[in-house]
Amino acid sequence: MIDKFESLKLDPRLEKNLKDLEFTAMTPIQQKALPLILDKADVIAQAKTGSGKTVAFGLGVLNDIDIKFTRPQSLILCPTRELAEQVAKELRILARTLPNMKILTITGGKSEFLQEKSLAHGAHIIVGTPGRVLRLLTKRILSLENVRYYVLDEADRMLDMGFRDDIYKISSRLPQQRQTLLFSATFPEDIEELSRDLQQNAQKIVVDSQHLDNIIKEEFIELDSHKDKIDALLKVLGQYQAQSFIIFCKTKKISDTVADELYRRNIVVASIHSDLEQNERTATLAMFSNRSLSGVVATDVAARGIDIKGLDLVVNFDLPTDPEVYVHRIGRTGRAGNEGHAVSFITKHEFDSFDAISQYQNKEYEIKELASLQSDVAYSLQPEMTTLFISGGKKDKLRPSDIVGAIIGSSGVDFSHIGNINLLNVITYVAIKNESAKLVCDKLNASKIKNKKFRIGML
């Protein structure tokens, strides 16, 4: 099978951007799905998180958008705010050679007034969560009458989260003549039913339904009781010395307890769950992606949309009861062909969950004892970056180049000391090497960016 993007009928501007991004060979899901998508077929595709599915449907949608027509032509639904933001961010990168392409996120936890205002100025692609999209449809603020491309990303998670009715209500507002793309990590019966109801002659694709043994190394460790898990976690972190990790817990309370315990031991982490305000979750995810945190301790719902390159380790502090959730969890590591590690703890109350995972994965796993881990190594890695916030963003017409110029011009630090710049509507997060963070913060507070004063602080 041909795996080069050049073999596809893509807009030359998209091809050039792919070369600039050094996207050379297609992933398996892109090889199978993109030709069908570009031929306007409905597609139902099974692919694990991190397989390149966003590029697959993103290129398909971007390839045929009419820039001159500024009404929504594509709707992409995601289960969580974080995933919607991640998808929109990736689409903007893919679309950077298409002038005036407007991609708008419509999610809860953000100002509805600002979203209405943005819609009034026009948008080509809407990336949203079902609840907020349906609310703006009901208020007649959003119209989908011109949508030709409809994408449901991680559809199985949306159904698990109770969005079935919302999806059907939204779908009823779409034109009958459209292309519908449905992506799911699993194909349970309700996904098959959703496909039958929303798609026409859908082409079915199955890729990477299981994680390859040589990509993700899975370990299961038996413990006597839940009380032993913190000590076991410290030993796992000590053995792997991961620079970036996620710890999954079954409840918000356990997440907070684990995060507090690790932070007390000078391991720089934060918990993330649905009790946090959206701005708190956004800040935490920015710090994690900026390498200002070594790890996050998360519940499953809150972790949707976390897409961190180079994630070394996933720890299942608590095993999920649903084996499909286990597959989603460990899929956060071992991306883009890199080796990852997933370590799971099992107590006597969790063996039913372990058996379900083993059966679902069709594998026989070795169960190890805690003594198999090195017990004399302490976790010693510290994040090398500090995240600064700037009280301005896209609404202030700021660009990354403006921020880089202001940092170097005011503080004189080397360009290499500046990390990721996450530019949002009304706030910007910037990663700065630890040794330069206070200097940059002080100098920016005493100067201007694009001739305007902003408040700068360290997270």
Q: Flag whether pLDDT at 129 surpasses 80.
A: yes
Q: What is the pLDDT of residue 302?
A: 58
CB atoms within 10 A of CB 272: 26
Q: CA dist 13 to 6, 17, 54, 99, 450, Å?
A: 12, 6, 18, 10, 30
Number of continuous H segments (helices) and E segments (strands) in the chain? 17, 18
Q: CA dist 257 to 8, 35, 265, 298, 350, Å?
A: 50, 48, 13, 11, 20
Pick the range with the lowest mean pLDDT from 21-25, 239-243, 390-394.
Answer: 21-25
CB atoms within 10 A of CB 15: 16
Nearest alpha carbon to residue 361 among 339, 329, 315, 317: 329
Q: What are all long-range contacts of 106-112, with beta carbons under 8 Å and residues at least 24 apart? A: 106/132, 106/133, 106/136, 106/142, 107/81, 107/132, 108/81, 108/132, 108/278, 109/81, 109/277, 109/278, 109/281, 110/81, 110/278, 110/425, 112/136
Radius of gyration of the chain (CA): 23
Phi/psi for 114 (5° steps) reads -65, -35
Nearest alpha carbon to residue 297 among 336, 270, 316, 323: 270
The rounded distance, in Å, linking the Cα atoms of 377 and 8 is 51
The rounded distance, in Å, linking the Cα atoms of 361 and 372 is 24
Q: CA dist 78 to 32, 36, 115, 158, 190, Å?
A: 22, 22, 17, 7, 17
Confidence of residue 372 (pLDDT cuts 50, 70, 90): confident
Helix crossing, 164-171 with 189-198: angle to 10°? 10
Q: What is the pLDDT of residue 336?
A: 57
Q: What is the pLDDT of residue 300?
A: 78
DSSP string for 383-396 = -SEEEEEES--GGG
The mean pLDDT of 33-48, rounded to a whole number, is 91
Q: To the nearest 10°, the Cα dihedral for 15, 30, 48, 89? A: 20
CB atoms within 10 A of CB 265: 13
Confidence of residue 216 (pLDDT cuts 50, 70, 90): confident
Q: What is the pLDDT of residue 304?
A: 58
Please state the pTM of the whole predicted model. 0.65
Q: What are all long-range contacts of 135-143, with beta carbons under 8 Å and residues at least 24 apart? A: 136/106, 136/112, 137/169, 137/170, 137/173, 141/116, 142/72, 142/106, 143/71, 143/72
Q: What is the pLDDT of residues 280-334, one digit of tens each?
A: 888 898 899 889 999 999 987 655 556 666 688 999 999 998 887 888 788 778 7
Q: 3-state class of 64 per DSSP?
A: coil
The structural domains of the chain, ordered by start, are 5-206 (3.40.50.300), 216-372 (3.40.50.300), 385-458 (3.30.70.330)
Q: CA dist 86 to 83, 210, 301, 386, 426, Å?
A: 5, 23, 15, 22, 17
Instruction: Read off the DSSP letter of residue 27.
Output: P
The mean pLDDT of 330-357, rounded to a whole number, is 85
The mean pLDDT of 415-420, rounded to a whole number, is 91
CB atoms within 10 A of CB 269: 24
Confidence of residue 49 (pLDDT cuts 50, 70, 90): low
For the chain, give the mean pLDDT: 89
What letter represents residue 67's amino acid?
I
Instruction: Read off the DSSP letter of residue 415.
Output: G
Structure token pair of residue 376: 């004399």
Burial of 170 (C-beta count, 10 Å sphere; 0-12/13-18/19+): buried
Pairing of strands 385-390, 313-316: unpaired
The rounded distance, in Å, linking the Cα atoms of 216 and 314 is 10
Specify whether the CB–CB gap between 94 and 15 falls below 8 A.
no
Pairing of strands 418-423, 428-433: antiparallel
Pairing of strands 456-458, 385-390: antiparallel
The rounded distance, in Å, linking the Cα atoms of 46 and 406 is 45
Q: What is the pLDDT of residue 326?
A: 87
The residues that bridge with 388 in the sheet, in sequence order, are 430, 458
